[in-house]
Chain A
Amino acid sequence: MSLLKVTNLTKSFGGVSAIRDLSFTIEPGTIHSIIGPNGAGKTTLFNLITGVYTPSSGSVRFADREIGGVEPHKLAALGMNRTFQNLQIFHNMSAVENVMVGAHLHLQKGLLHSLLRLPSLARSEVETRKHCWELMDFVGLSQYRDAEASAMSYGALKRLEIARALAAKPKLLLLDEPAAGLNDTETREVDEVIKRIAAQGITVVLVEHDMKMVMGISDHILVLDYGAKLAEGTPAEIRSNPDVIAAYLGNVG
């Protein structure tokens, strides 16, 4: 059974369709990439899947439930999480607190416990912090364990968002251009992190412009153009698809 099933999905902004009549499925346990030129509608698609936008029409099913229009925090509770192309960092908090927010779903949130800081809450806080530090290590942010988020570089913040999403223990993780703006070493690190995430059984949907990375780690690729599907298939199929070559990949060696 597919983990995510998108059928005839359409989203328009005042007459302009950013996504048109799009259908595809994502199988569990795979790395699924979505590529396409700027403005193709990749981020909009993420926003539709994660409940940030409501579809104009069509359906999105996640783990066999219709989720079009369901609020983002409920989707997170169902096991969906994401990062943002333009970052949604909590700049008013420390790095590890950002990650701890990701763990929110799994924490004790009783008002009385919090106001009085009862021992059970105090203990769980210590454990959560430790776990979130480990997640920061996992994405290569060990040196930022005690940093404030506002003092971190762009590349580090991109990875901080990955750690934050992982803290929620998602089944489906959507990454919107995780390597944009990173140098070559950082890109290779992120590539490595994504592989290790997938190895844990988390299904990854990746939007990325770095073709070397996309071709190297994807099980399946969807090509978007003007909000519609241009092609779909394995990296090898995409590389040899004449439409894709003509429209988009023509100049990629």
Chain B
Amino acid sequence: MLESSIQFILAGLTSGAIYALVGLGFTIIYNASHVINFAQGEFIVIGGMSTVALMAAGLPLPVAIMLATLVTMAVGMALAKFAIQPARDADVVALIIITIGASIFLRGIVQLVFGKDIHSLPHFSGETPLNLMGATLMPQSLWVMGVAAALILVMAWFFNATLAGKAMLATAYNALAARLMGVDTKWVLLSAFALSALLGAVGGIVVTPITFVSYESGIMLGLKGFSAAVLGGLGNGVGAVAGGLILGIVESMSAGYISSAYKDAIAFVIILVVLVARPNGLFGKKGIDRV
């Protein structure tokens, strides 16, 4: 009983770590632009797929990872520059359609370039399972959790300790004031997309050996990341990370103890319950209409 719980928690933390990264990506873009980027899941796919392709072309894994990450960041910035920036004044629903359009567009490109097959990567440190208090753990899971934790810490440092990070936060808080203080909000938008593409790509790369990647895998991962961000309270980075981990654990627990067919449904039921009880997410502040 205890072993199986540990097993499920470990599995949940692994997928939760990815949801947290995607959720954090949503949050960074949301803060910079109040856009919900439904193409977030495609960053994962592009990261994973390009690594697969670059390795197939004979590059060693570390180089392939670096290049794939750069490619994904470039895609993210292009998206910001050509699709989001020209529509800055459009209303929320229009922006949602743009990013959904972008995700369909990117999915189409991925399908054209890499085909419809499911791909995988070799495990970074072999496939000998580790034993942890009676539960087994693939070394790749440690990679996923470790890399996610490291990225999250770097992001925390970036937003709290660097000038560039603070400028981005200031824009989130009050774009007009930030602009008046000399912050280049266009630059903030580009950086936000680059950063969240980076999170998506790296997350996608480390998880590909476990979950595999196909041109379609971005849809569900994008939804889960969005759920994580909303669960924690939109715009709240810590909330997104917590939301992602909670989501991952809830899912793997329900798959283990209740029904694997219903694991996604149970996750969404819990999100609904949370939202009904706390309309601005677990860590979101209560808003009040000012008139």
Contacts and interface: CB of A to CB of B under 8 A. Distances in A.
B181 interface: no
Contacts of B288: 53
A84 interface: yes
A8 interface: no
A88 B291 CA distance: 8
Interface in A81-101: 84-86, 88
A53 B290 CA distance: 10
Contacts of A53: 288
A28 to B, nearest CB: 26
Interface residues of B, number: 3
B195 to A, nearest CB: 32
Contacts of A22: none
Contacts of B289: 52
B286 to A, nearest CB: 10
Nearest to B289: A52
B98 to A, nearest CB: 21
Nearest to B291: A84
**Interface size of A as a range:** under 10
Contacts of A218: none
Interface in B244-291: 288-289, 291
Interface in A42-59: 43, 47, 52-53
Nearest to A176: B291
Nearest to A84: B291
A85 B291 CA distance: 8
Nearest to A43: B291
B289 to A, nearest CB: 8
Contacts of B291: 43, 47, 52, 84-86, 88
Contacts of A86: 291
Contacts of A85: 291
B290 to A, nearest CB: 8
A204 to B, nearest CB: 20
A68 to B, nearest CB: 17
A85 B289 CA distance: 14
Contacts of A88: 291
A69 to B, nearest CB: 15
Contacts of A43: 291
A53 B291 CA distance: 10
Nearest to A88: B291
A157 to B, nearest CB: 14
Nearest to B290: A86
A136 B288 CA distance: 32
A52 B289 CA distance: 9
A7 B288 CA distance: 24
Interface in B9-47: none
A167 B179 CA distance: 43
A52 B288 CA distance: 10
A26 to B, nearest CB: 21
A47 B290 CA distance: 10
Shortest Cβ-Cβ A-B pairs, 9 listed: A84-B291, A88-B291, A52-B291, A86-B291, A47-B291, A52-B289, A43-B291, A53-B288, A85-B291
Interface of B: 288-289, 291
Interface of A: 43, 47, 52-53, 84-86, 88
9 contacts: A43-B291, A47-B291, A52-B289, A52-B291, A53-B288, A84-B291, A85-B291, A86-B291, A88-B291
Given A43-B291, A52-B291, 7 more contacts: A47-B291, A52-B289, A53-B288, A84-B291, A85-B291, A86-B291, A88-B291
